Amino acid sequence: MNTRLAVATHILTFIATQGGQPATSELIASSVNTNPALVRRLLSQLAKAGLTTSQMGSGGGALLACPADQITLLDVYHAIDDNNAVFALHDQPNPQCPVGRVINTVLKGRIAAAEQAMQKQLSTTTIADMASGVAAENRKRA
Amino acid sequence: MNTRLAVATHILTFIATQGGQPATSELIASSVNTNPALVRRLLSQLAKAGLTTSQMGSGGGALLACPADQITLLDVYHAIDDNNAVFALHDQPNPQCPVGRVINTVLKGRIAAAEQAMQKQLSTTTIADMASGVAAENRKRA
DNA sequence: TATATCTGTAACAGAAATAGATACACATAT
DNA sequence: ATATGTGTATCTATTTCTGTTACAGATATA
Share of chain A above pLDDT 90, in %: 91
pLDDT per residue over B44-91, tens digit each?
999 999 999 999 999 999 999 999 999 999 999 999 987 778 999 988
pLDDT of A103 reads 96
Q: Which residues pair with A2 in a beta bridge?
A: B87
Angle at B107 between CA B106 and CA B109, to 5 degrees: 80
pLDDT per residue over B7-56, tens digit each?
999 999 999 999 999 999 999 999 999 999 999 999 999 999 999 999 99
**Residue ranges of domains in chain A, CATH in brackets:** 4-141 (1.10.10.10)
Phi-psi region of B46 (alpha: psi -120 to 50; beta: other; left: phi over 0): alpha
pLDDT mean over A80-96: 86
Cα-Cα-Cα-Cα dihedral sign, residues B115, B117, B118, B123: positive
Share of chain A above pLDDT 70, in %: 98
- Answer yes or no: is pLDDT of A1 > 70: no
DSSP SS3 for B138:
helix
Q: Which of residues 73-132 of B touch A (CB under 8 A)?
A: 73, 83, 85-94, 97-107, 110-111, 113-122, 124-125, 130
For chain B, list the strands marked E by DSSP.
Answer: 52-55, 61-64
- Residue pair A22/A60 in contact by the 8 Å Cβ criterion: yes
Q: Which residues pair with B61 in a beta bridge?
A: B55
pLDDT per residue over A47-86, tens digit each?
999 999 999 999 999 999 999 999 999 999 999 987 778 9
Distance separating the N- and C-terminal Cα atoms of chain A: 33
Residues 6+ apart with CB under 8 A from B30: A94, A97
Q: How far is the CA of A120 from the C1' of C1 (A)?
A: 65
- For residues A102-112, b (16+ Cβ closer than 10 Å) or e, as one string? bbbebbeebbe
* B58 touches A at CB < 8 Å: no
- For residues B39-74, b (16+ Cβ closer than 10 Å) or e, as one string? bbebbebbbebebbebeeeeeebbbbeeebeebbbb
pLDDT of B83 reads 72
Per 3-state DSSP, what percentage of chain A is helix, strand, and coil (rounded to 5)? 60, 10, 30
Which residue's alpha carbon is at the shortest distance from the C1' of C21?
A35
* A52 alpha carbon, distance to own chain's centre: 12
Contacts of A83 in chain B (CB under 8 A): 1
Residues 6+ apart with CB under 8 A from B42: B4, B7, B8, B11, B80
